[in-house]
Amino acid sequence: MTEPAPYTEADLSLIKRIIPHRYPFLLIDKVRDIVPMKGAVGIKNVTCNEPHFQGHFPDMPIMPGVTIVEAMAQTSAVVVGISLNVVDRDLLTYFMGIDKCKFRRKVVPGDVLELHVTVKRGGGKIWKFEGRALVDGELACEAEFTAMMDLQD
């Protein structure tokens, strides 16, 4: 395995160099506290302009739970990209499983979602993570998830 890339934080520009997601499905704005092979904290600034709020729900916008889990997964993919030093390479990430998923609080426009992800198992193609999404220190969602990492080049 190559040495991890020398980043402890990823702004939007670096995130786009690691994962292929783009609007309207790029669900993280920043990743901080990156520790290769260990974890990081993703940041999602929830705004009323996001397309899913048109239908979920028009009079009471609530971030769909599956997009919260996806934001945790995108944060995890950035951790993998840094850990495997594959910045500017074509890394695809595929969900394989979601376990022990619980939603504890609504996430609404104006919230800043902190996505705390921890690597439970990694290093090869199959990685397992534990994620906790918080708003103002309050737990909004927790889940374990497994993903396959596929380097295209």
E strand spans, 1-153: 30-35, 39-45, 91-103, 112-121, 126-135, 138-151
How many Cβ atoms are within 10 Å of 9's Cβ, its own excluded?
13
Catalytic option among 21, 52, 56, 116: 56
Nearest to 118 by CA among 132, 105, 104: 132
56 has catalytic annotation: yes
Q: Which residues are tagged catalytic?
A: 56
